[in-house]
Each structure stands twice: as structure tokens, then as C-alpha cells.
Chains A and B, each alone.
Chain A
């Protein structure tokens, strides 16, 4: 059952991603992106990463894509979009880049089980008992606020700096 669902979600995710680049209307592309992100959330659920699935939908599908929607609407890209399309050489280049990247990733992840970082992974049985003990949020939150707290806080500061920078840049034009 889980295996069938995996292939269904994977197919929808890839199909949605293709829809993003093949759609001519930017709003259509955006909706395909939401579909793709949603099915990736479904994949996370299949991997027992419930918290990641919820955050994926809340942050990406519910917040960032809505922001994209705003940009598309406010720049009025939604209606007269045909003039903006650049086909030909550029699209071929884009597909070639993505293909090359996918190949590199596949090469990297082949035989990943032997790589040192996976030796620390406790395995599905240990993860299940951890989830029962600490809850789905606790499993993520504890390492984040103990072992990786410096990286976590630094990421937060980075985002804050980006936010302040964006406001400063936007203010200058007024």
C-alpha cells in the first residue's frame, strides 16, 4: 500500500513540476507548483516525517506560493503573458541544466547507505519509539535546540538580515 502511494505521489510531484515549466500562464504554473509541493508533503508523510509534511504545506504551499501569487498579480503578469515567453535556445538550455543536475544528484546518492552521515541514522524502529516518546515535533525540536542550536540561530539571523535588507532596498525607491 505504502509503496503504491509512494509511486502515486512521486508521479504527481514530477508531473506537477513538469506542469510548472510547460504551462504558458504564470498562475497555472504556480498552481502546478502547489500541487507538486503538496505531493512532496505526501511523500514526507509516507516516510513518517509528519512534522516536515505539515511545515512543507504551511510554509511553502501556504505562505511562499501565496507571496508568488501576489507578485504575479500585482505585476499583472497573469493576463498578457505571451509577450514575456522566451522560447527556443533558452528553454533547451534550461532543460539541459536540470537534466545535468538530476544526473549529478543520482550519481551522488547511489550507494548513499554506506556514506558516513547515514551511519548516525537510528533506523525506522528506533525512530518509531522516539516518536511515541517525544511526539512528532519533539523528534525534530530536540536536536534542533540542543545539538544544532548554533546553526539554527545563525539561520534565523541570516533570514532576519535578508528581511531587513529587503525592506531597506524597497524603501529607497519611495
Chain B
């Protein structure tokens, strides 16, 4: 249980960086296969199944194909920025993985290694900072192409990302209020301590976060930046081979990152439900599992198999959200541009602000009444559930957003049918039928 020596720290950190980076790249490659197979399943097709068993070698074939394709550079493009675009898109997407805690700490002969690349004190703010830099890659790529479709895609993408960043940030604040700190390790620890995944006491924040994350990652129903039917493929229209591939890798890394964040912030990160045995947190110079009723720290029992189990739990939670991303893409149609802006500024932002005030007030009242533990989480759960129901109720049924088609309430049949109308006087029948 001793501290790592500087050399051991350096070596373990290097291994972690390498492992996380390779794992992220590998998962991203196989997410493309997952997307294609799941979309095929949803559309009752087979999908790519020829390259290797079940098509498992398809991502490798895709990668090779992309490397071997011709690099195009449009004659009117601004060369420097055209090449810089994909790079600036990929790098911010990959560095954010550094702050995600992905398993319980691993005891080694040289000391305890925590399973996070860098447990920096700003945690989630680091993720937000790099996520906000992701705009540059897309914008530069689209602008430097000197193509109107690419430019329109870039403008849409950045305005969308800037708009939804606000709702994303506001939906995070309730989580930070409950956790009491901004580091992701603390957020996981508070969920373990409370025995509540934050998705229950903060259900509306979770919903707002998921919607904003879809918008931030430019995924359907928010994929206006690349809307194939209007903009060819949007900001990467002019890109080919590996440069195109880099934009793609960036998009899928964003999805993976968003899924990992949702799992960490709202589903307890790497903690295993209904089991406290694997919990661990670095407190006052020692790893602890929790507190006794008297407030005495209980030392954590670390083991390699607990690390593996928690890693599995984290992978399952993250994988679930990745699947949701794919599922939603093949279920929902694309928004119209004004609907995206309307939802972002006039629905998400006021809801997030109001909810934030309500949760802050609830926490204040509960703190004043010295309510703790299960009851604390339960009261918040009830309050949030009411908010969520209200939000879903008002968001639905054409109250705020109306679709392009005929609203459902106009499709319901009039109470007066033709058979009944024959028993009415001619004027009344005509009026009833005319209304239909």
C-alpha cells in the first residue's frame, strides 16, 4: 500500500497512456463495424460479414483502403488549413480520455496504481476545455476546402456545438453540486458513498446531458453538419483517404468519450452495483472503502481481480451508451436547422437553468434539515422524476416543437362520422364533414 516511487510512477503512467490510447483506437475501429452491423440489423439486412469471421476484419480492411486511396487537394483550397483541419479535429478528441477513471486501483509490488491516466484536479473542466477546441478542426476543414457545401456544414457544426455547449455545461452543474468537486474520481466516489447512481437523483440533468452530447458529437438527429441529402457530406466533402478517415476517427472518439462520460457521471463509473467491496478512494494518504457510522474510514481491500471486474463494469456501461448512439441514429430522422436552434436555446437552456435552481434549492433545504444518506437521494429522485415527467410532457405532443408533418391531434377522426351525419340535418352534416 505504499506510494509509487518516481520511476515506478513514470513507467506505470507510460503504460497507462499507451494502453488507453491503443484501447481507444481499437474500440473506435470496431465501433464502425458495430454501427454497420447494428444498422443492418435494424434495417433487416446482413451488413458487412465477408471479411473474416462475422466481418471482424472489416475495420482493418477499411483502414488499409483509406491509407491506399489517393490524397486529394482541391486547387482552390487553402493548403495549410486544409491539412491542419483533420489534425485539429482528431487531437482534442483523443486527449480527453486521459481523465476518465476506468477501474478500481490496481495493487502492484511497487505500490498502488490508480486506473486513470492523469487524475488532474480540474477533471471534468479539462474535458470541457478540449471539447470546446474540437470546433476548430471542423471549421477550418470546412472553410479551407473553399466549397460552399463544406462551408455550410462547418458553419452549422460550429453554431450547433457552441449552442449546445451551454446546455451541456448547465446540465453538469447539478452533478458537480452533488459530488462537491470537479474531478471525475470524486464524482465516482460520491456515487459509491451515496449508494445512488446520479442518474436517479438527477434524471433530468441526465436527459439534458444525453441530448447535448448527441448535438456535440454531431450525431443524428443532430447531424446537420453533414446532412447528406442537402450538403453532400458537409465539412469533409473535399477530403479523401486518411484525412477523411481522421475526421471519422474523431467523430467516433467523441462518441466513445461521451459514452464514457455518461457512464462516469451518471452510472457510477467503474463501481459495481449493489456491491461495496471494490470501492476505493484515496483519502488522507490511504485507500479507503467507505466510512463507518461513526465516521471512521474503512481501509480498502484492493485486488487485481477487483480491478478487472470494475473494468468490465465500466466497459459494459460505456458499451451500452455506444449502442444507444448507434440505435438512435437509425431510429430518428434529422432535425431541421431552425428546430435545432429552437431546441437548444429556447427549450434546453431555460430547462437546464430552472432545474439547476430547483436542485440547488432542494439540496439547500435537505442540508438545513440535516437529511443524509438514502433519504437524501430519495427526495432528490422524487423531485427530479417530477421535473423529468413535466419536461417530457411539455416537449412532446407539439406543445413546443411542431414537426413538419400534420400534427397528430389533427389526424384524430372527428366525433361525427359519415354514418352518423346522415341522421343530422343537412347543414349540420355539411359543417361536421367540412371540419374533418
A residues near B, CB below 8 A? Answer: 25, 27-28, 31, 34, 41, 50-51, 53-55, 57-58, 61-63, 66, 69-70, 73-74, 78-79, 131, 135-137
Contacts and interface: CB of A to CB of B under 8 A. Distances in A.
B121 A58 contact: no
Interface stretch (B126-134, B270-278, B340-348): B126-134
Interface of B: 78, 80-81, 84, 120-122, 125-126, 128-133, 135-136, 139-140, 143, 146, 151, 155, 158-159, 162, 165, 180-183
Given A34-B136, A51-B122, A58 B143 contact: no
A136 B122 contact: yes
Nearest to A65: B136
Contacts of A27: 78, 81, 140, 143
Given A135-B121, A136-B122, A54 B181 contact: no
Contacts, number: 76
Residue of A25, A54, A79, A131 ringed by the most chain B CB atoms within 10 A: A54
A27 B143 CA distance: 10
Contacts of B78: 25, 27
A170 B122 CA distance: 37
Contact of A63 (B122, B162, B180): B162
Residue of A34, A53, A74, A135 ringed by the most chain B CB atoms within 10 A: A135
Given A66-B158, A69-B158, A50 B120 contact: yes
Nearest to B128: A58
Majority-rule SS of A interface residues: helix
A135 B129 contact: no
Given A62-B133, A69-B139, A135 B182 contact: yes
A135 B181 contact: yes
B122 A50 contact: yes
A49 to B, nearest CB: 10
Closest 9 CB pairs of A and B: A62-B132, A54-B125, A57-B129, A136-B121, A54-B122, A50-B122, A135-B181, A58-B129, A50-B121
